[in-house]
Chain A
Amino acid sequence: MRVSFKLNGRPVEVDVAPNELLINVLRDKLKLTGTKYGCGIGECGACTVLVDGKPVLSCLTLAVDVNGREVVTVEGVSEDGNPTPVQRALVEEGAIQCGYCTPGFVMVGEYLRSKKRAYSEEEIRSLIRGNLCRCTGYVNIVKALAKALGGG
């Protein structure tokens, strides 16, 4: 089946099988490997991308489902080639260790930023509970998101 959608601002067309998952199309066919496979069953959040501005787990999303929609991956969030405030904060706050979960946190962070409101620490912790990190204990991730999202 042929699906066409907007990927990181540019139109793409790609042949997919009806049962093909978005994560595999992004990684294997479109060579965007920033989206990570962590569990394949929607538990870890490493494969999070934005579809029409909302975070979805690309390991649980059929590629045909994004036909005609807009997909943004970690490779597509930068603003004129510069890191976003969320990315900058993650770098500056030491929120990155092994980095494998990082793209998922970037995408959730970008979604929260698009809401243009401030989040408390409790809200941030609740909103990222679907993203697992094994290295940082989430301390500096929460700190970074609070900084980028102007949390109170």
Chain B
Amino acid sequence: MSEHVFIGRRAPRHDALPKVTGALKFANDLEAPGMLIGRIYRSPYAFADIARVDVSEAERLGAVVITPDEVPRKLFNPRLVSVDEVTYKDHLILTKRPRYIGEPIAAVAAPSEELAQRALESIRIEVERVYKPVLDPFEAMSPSAPLIHEEIMKGDQVLKVERNIAARLSYTEGDVDKAFREASVVVERSFRSGKRYHMQLEPKAVLCVPEPGGKLTIYATTQTIHNTRILISQLFDIPESKITVVKVPIGGSFGSSIQVNYLVPIAVALCLKARRPVKIAYTREEDMLDHSNYVFHMRLKVGAKRDGEIIAGEFHNILDIGAHQIQAYPLLGTSLGWFVSMYKWKNIRYEGVAVYTNKVPSCALRGYGAPEVQWAVETVIDELAEELGVDPVELRLKNYVGRGDIFWGQGPTVRSVIKSDGVPELLLKGRELIGWDKRGRPEEKKGRFRRGIGLGRGFHTSGAGGPISGEVIDFTGAVLKLNEDGTLDYITALQDHGGGTLDAHVKIIAEELQVPPERINLALATTENTPYDVCTHASRGVFVGGEAARRAASIVKQKILEAAVRLLPMAVNPEALRIRYDPAREDAVIYVEGMPEYSITLRELARKVWQKNWGTIAAVVTYRATSAPPSFTVYYVEVEVDTWTGKVRPVRVVAGADVGTPINPDMVEGQLHGGFAMAWGMVFSEDTPYNPETGELANRFLITDYKIPTAQDLPRLEDFKAVIASTKEPSGPFGAKGLGEAAMNPAAAAICNAIYNATGVRVYELPVTPDKLLKLIKEREGPA
């Protein structure tokens, strides 16, 4: 810790005070003079052909209205993270063929919300045909099922869709059949996850303002200002230079705004027609119709030799992707990546199929499939250990993918060599802290309340960079300038979803320049004053964005030293100078090495550089990471199962994280707290089931029936222990890696393995609500 002055120091985040006083403005808090309020007319049918949309009454009421015929009719994909050749396009801004209940058909804008709502309610549609919704992916693949899409685009190629299969990916390595024949123990299991909703606290909002000269300014809830600009430019044929997207704070996201949310192009279309500012803010119900995650139907088969060496892994992965493709194809690749990068299977077979259904389009949700895949893998590994009669910790240590191995978490085209690995430390420390060896066996546990301990090990990548270009776009940028009083302005397009990413950047710059973090201003960032950044996703904020910030700071530092040579002429060249933080002067001091009496503070230097007409000291960096190192996480969880009610209580949690150097240790812990809570919801409650007849969300789009954990559902303060591994990632800024997603990924597996240790019941379907768990316990125990 002592090697750094600012990194690793606990400090309040830069935006804590504006947030706690209510002063910080989110997208829905913004307004513009003359602004109209937009509302979206949504399909009441899960799958239908609309003949006509009658908006005459809405127009008579004075609303500006757009229909499918009045907006650009280009097929598009709202997510621009993959390269175009592998981007599947099947969306329209407004559609006459709705494919899920809630799909936008028309939109209105009016000076008041009330008038907009009245106009909305006056819209009538004439339906040509209503189809029975297809809600099950296996049913969707049957030859008799109606086609949800007939033709889509892949890049600029037209693709005919067959059997509702949106995309496929297969992979083989070695001789899997032979390996299974040679294996002493083979375990094969099927799993199904829930269709979870992000339930970020902030429903999406957008404000689109027309500017003089045919320009547009867009303030939107987004994880990517640049891709928002590119998409709007492409859809509406407006040059990028005429569109400015402004970065506004985001109230949590968890992947739900990697794609440009549907309300953004709708607001733009309304704004272009009305020639007035238009704001749309989703209701919670609408937000639930905008995004939820992928459902995984997985079959895993693994084989090992008697000595515990794993020799084969097979993974069948059917993804229920809902009505449109956002990132189904890349998810087939990352699912494979999450699988192969868990253990050294040696012989691998993978078959991934993404299938359309008439449900809300699926998108990434914290972990992008890793929580689901790691839940399945870690369950099977637990079972394998039991069959082999070895300690599950030892089995993992023997077979996991670690230092020196090839890691390709983000899919087949994003590979790099693992250089930092805290797995042994976390597995062994956690085992000690939780009391692993005293956990007992399920059959020894009796009585109503039964306790069990479970382990889940996993990882997430830090970004999607790599040594070759691949199918994923991943680079970022940073702008840093020294102001005339020695403060600095830092500009980045990267978003802070709440995890403290940008505070980490500030600390990284502070460390490089030895200036206090308070002197660095996180400046307003827009698409016109920042270099391109793909998106704040894939846990890349600190690892990729932080390194861009460090490089910008390093260039600025070099220029500071060059200026200092002119101000301290006794120094022969910049290499003769050093820079260090001086707490007495609360400033960076530049001095001649070994002769601190020859020195100048950064404040003095900045002022002199200005007064002497030497120009501005600044740097613009664009940065591509050539690796995407794994951040490993290990969860040990103790639960107590009430075998009478099926309710489960968390007793103790040891959450271990290998994040390399923790830039913000308090925020590292914050990620683990939140990651565990989200996993708890994934295991016990979170799902959005559909009415099989109508295709309606069974909870009627209300969060009343979408339970996320409350403060009462989670462990007591003293029972949650965060452990940070002492590693350092050579390719990361000051040794740092990412964490946001790794913080959650293996936690669900640990919880489910703990349920097994308590009750002997294995969980293969999530969520396992109390009624379901009770049924599983009763099935296992037989009639009393």
Measured CB to CB, the nearest residue on chain B to A125 is B711
Query: What is the CA–CA distance of A33 and B23 in the complex, to the nearest angstrom?
Result: 8
Among B199, B250, B674, find the residue whose CB has the most chain A CB atoms closer than 10 A. B674
Give B1-43 as 1s and 0s: 1 = Cβ < 8 Å from A's Cβ atoms: 0000000001011011111111111101100000000000000
Measured CB to CB, the nearest residue on chain B to A89 is B20
**Are A99 and B251 within 8 A (Cβ)?**
yes
Please name all residues of chain B whose beta carbon is closer than 8 Å to the beta carbon of A53 when the two chains form the complex. Answer: none
Please name all residues of chain B whose beta carbon is closer than 8 Å to the beta carbon of A58 when the two chains form the complex. Answer: none
Query: What is the CA–CA distance of A137 and B252 in the complex, to the nearest angstrom?
Result: 13
Q: How many residues of A contact B (CB 8 A)?
A: 57
Query: What is the CA–CA distance of A97 and B703 in the complex, to the nearest angstrom?
Result: 22
State whether the Cβ of B673 lies closer than 8 Å to any Cβ in chain A: yes
Please name all residues of chain B whose beta carbon is closer than 8 Å to the beta carbon of A133 when the two chains form the complex. Answer: 201
Which of A33, A94, A130, A134 contacts B201 (CB under 8 A)? A134
**Are A91 and B16 within 8 A (Cβ)?**
yes
**Are B15 and A99 within 8 A (Cβ)?**
yes
Measured CB to CB, the nearest residue on chain B to A124 is B711
Give B166-207 as 1s and 0s: 1 = Cβ < 8 Å from A's Cβ atoms: 000000000000000000000000000000001111110000
Which segment, of A62-70, A71-79, A111-119, faces chain B? A71-79
Please name all residues of chain A whose beta carbon is closer than 8 Å to the beta carbon of B497 when the two chains form the complex. Answer: 98
A137 CB to nearest chain B CB (Å): 3
Please name all residues of chain B whose beta carbon is closer than 8 Å to the beta carbon of A34 when the two chains form the complex. Answer: 21-23
Among A34, A38, A99, find the residue whose CB has the most chain B CB atoms closer than 10 A. A99
Please name all residues of chain A whose beta carbon is closer than 8 Å to the beta carbon of B674 when the two chains form the complex. Answer: 97, 134-137
A121 in contact with B716 given A97-B498, A100-B26, A134-B708 (CB within 8 Å)? yes
**Are B203 and A37 within 8 A (Cβ)?**
yes
Among A27, A74, A139, A141, find the residue whose CB has the most chain B CB atoms closer than 10 A. A139
A143 CB to nearest chain B CB (Å): 6
Which of A78, A102, A135 contacts B670 (CB under 8 A)? A135
Query: What is the CA–CA distance of A78 and B673 in the complex, to the nearest angstrom?
Result: 29
B381 CB to nearest chain A CB (Å): 26
Please name all residues of chain A whose beta carbon is closer than 8 Å to the beta carbon of B611 when the two chains form the complex. Answer: none
Please name all residues of chain A whose beta carbon is closer than 8 Å to the beta carbon of B28 when the two chains form the complex. Answer: 33, 37
A97 in contact with B283 given A43-B704, A83-B17, A134-B254 (CB within 8 Å)? no
Query: What is the CA–CA distance of A24 and B15 in the complex, to the nearest angstrom?
Result: 25
Measured CB to CB, the nearest residue on chain A to B655 is A137
State whether the Cβ of A142 lies closer than 8 Å to any Cβ in chain B: yes
Please name all residues of chain A whose beta carbon is closer than 8 Å to the beta carbon of B673 when the two chains form the complex. Answer: 136-140
Query: What is the CA–CA distance of A40 and B16 in the complex, to the nearest angstrom?
Result: 25
**Are A129 and B712 within 8 A (Cβ)?**
yes
Within A19-75, which residues are at the interface with B (CB < 8 Å)?
Answer: 24, 27-28, 32-41, 43-44, 46, 73-75
Give B460-499 as 1s and 0s: 1 = Cβ < 8 Å from A's Cβ atoms: 0000000000000000000000000000000000000111
A128 in contact with B711 given A83-B21, A100-B202, A138-B677 (CB within 8 Å)? yes
A59 CB to nearest chain B CB (Å): 10
Query: What is the CA–CA distance of A96 and B12 in the complex, to the nearest angstrom?
Result: 9
**Are A33 and B703 within 8 A (Cβ)?**
no
Query: What is the CA–CA distance of A36 and B711 in the complex, to the nearest angstrom?
Result: 20
Please name all residues of chain B whose beta carbon is closer than 8 Å to the beta carbon of A97 when the two chains form the complex. Answer: 252, 498-500, 670, 674
**Are B22 and A138 within 8 A (Cβ)?**
no
Give B691-729 as 1s and 0s: 1 = Cβ < 8 Å from A's Cβ atoms: 000000000001110001111101011001000000000
**Are A40 and B20 within 8 A (Cβ)?**
no
Query: What is the CA–CA distance of A141 and B18 in the complex, to the nearest angstrom?
Result: 17
Please name all residues of chain A whose beta carbon is closer than 8 Å to the beta carbon of B15 when the two chains form the complex. Answer: 96, 99
Query: What is the CA–CA distance of A138 and B249 in the complex, to the nearest angstrom?
Result: 21
Please name all residues of chain B whose beta carbon is closer than 8 Å to the beta carbon of A94 when the two chains form the complex. Answer: 10, 12-13, 666-667, 669-670
**Are B252 and A135 within 8 A (Cβ)?**
yes
Please name all residues of chain B whose beta carbon is closer than 8 Å to the beta carbon of A7 when the two chains form the complex. Answer: none
Among B10, B201, B674, find the residue whose CB has the most chain A CB atoms closer than 10 A. B201
Which of A28, A40, A98 contacts B200 (CB under 8 A)? A98
**Are A106 and B20 within 8 A (Cβ)?**
yes
B487 CB to nearest chain A CB (Å): 22
State whether the Cβ of B676 lies closer than 8 Å to any Cβ in chain A: yes
Please name all residues of chain B whose beta carbon is closer than 8 Å to the beta carbon of A101 when the two chains form the complex. Answer: 201
**Are B676 and A137 within 8 A (Cβ)?**
yes
State whether the Cβ of B284 lies closer than 8 Å to any Cβ in chain A: yes
Measured CB to CB, the nearest residue on chain A to B200 is A134
Please name all residues of chain A whose beta carbon is closer than 8 Å to the beta carbon of B249 when the two chains form the complex. Answer: 98-99
A138 in contact with B201 given A41-B284, A83-B20 (CB within 8 Å)? no
State whether the Cβ of A15 lies closer than 8 Å to any Cβ in chain B: no
Query: What is the CA–CA distance of A102 and B251 in the complex, to the nearest angstrom?
Result: 10
Please name all residues of chain A whose beta carbon is closer than 8 Å to the beta carbon of B16 when the two chains form the complex. Answer: 90-91, 96, 99
Query: What is the CA–CA distance of A90 and B22 in the complex, to the nearest angstrom?
Result: 13
Query: What is the CA–CA distance of A32 and B249 in the complex, to the nearest angstrom?
Result: 17
A98 in contact with B22 given A39-B703, A91-B12, A137-B674 (CB within 8 Å)? no
Measured CB to CB, the nearest residue on chain B to A39 is B284
Query: What is the CA–CA distance of A40 and B709 in the complex, to the nearest angstrom?
Result: 19
B633 CB to nearest chain A CB (Å): 14
State whether the Cβ of B556 lies closer than 8 Å to any Cβ in chain A: no
State whether the Cβ of B761 lies closer than 8 Å to any Cβ in chain A: no
Query: What is the CA–CA distance of A138 and B674 in the complex, to the nearest angstrom?
Result: 8
A48 CB to nearest chain B CB (Å): 12
Please name all residues of chain A whose beta carbon is closer than 8 Å to the beta carbon of B114 when the two chains form the complex. Answer: 17
Measured CB to CB, the nearest residue on chain A to B13 is A96
**Are A99 and B710 within 8 A (Cβ)?**
no
Give B412-449 as 1s and 0s: 1 = Cβ < 8 Å from A's Cβ atoms: 00000000000000000000000000000000000000
Within B97-142, which residues are at the interface with A (CB < 8 Å)?
Answer: 113-114
A99 in contact with B678 given A33-B29, A138-B714 (CB within 8 Å)? no
Query: What is the CA–CA distance of A102 and B284 in the complex, to the nearest angstrom?
Result: 18
Please name all residues of chain B whose beta carbon is closer than 8 Å to the beta carbon of A140 when the two chains form the complex. Answer: 670, 673
Which of B22, B26, B203, B717 contacts A143 (CB under 8 A)? B717
What are the 9 tightest A-B residue pairs by CB atom distance, in nearest-first order?
A: A34-B22, A98-B498, A100-B251, A99-B19, A137-B673, A137-B677, A97-B498, A74-B22, A33-B29
**13 A–B pairs (Cβ distance < 8 Å), ordered by A:** A17-B114, A34-B21, A34-B23, A35-B22, A37-B203, A38-B203, A96-B13, A99-B251, A100-B251, A134-B199, A135-B670, A137-B678, A138-B677
| A residues apposed to B, CB below 8 Å | 17, 24, 27-28, 32-41, 43-44, 46, 73-75, 78, 83, 87, 90-92, 94, 96-103, 106, 121, 124-126, 128-143, 146
| 10 additional contacts (CB under 8 A) given A98-B249, A136-B673, A137-B720 | A36-B201, A87-B20, A90-B16, A94-B10, A99-B20, A125-B712, A128-B710, A130-B710, A134-B252, A134-B674
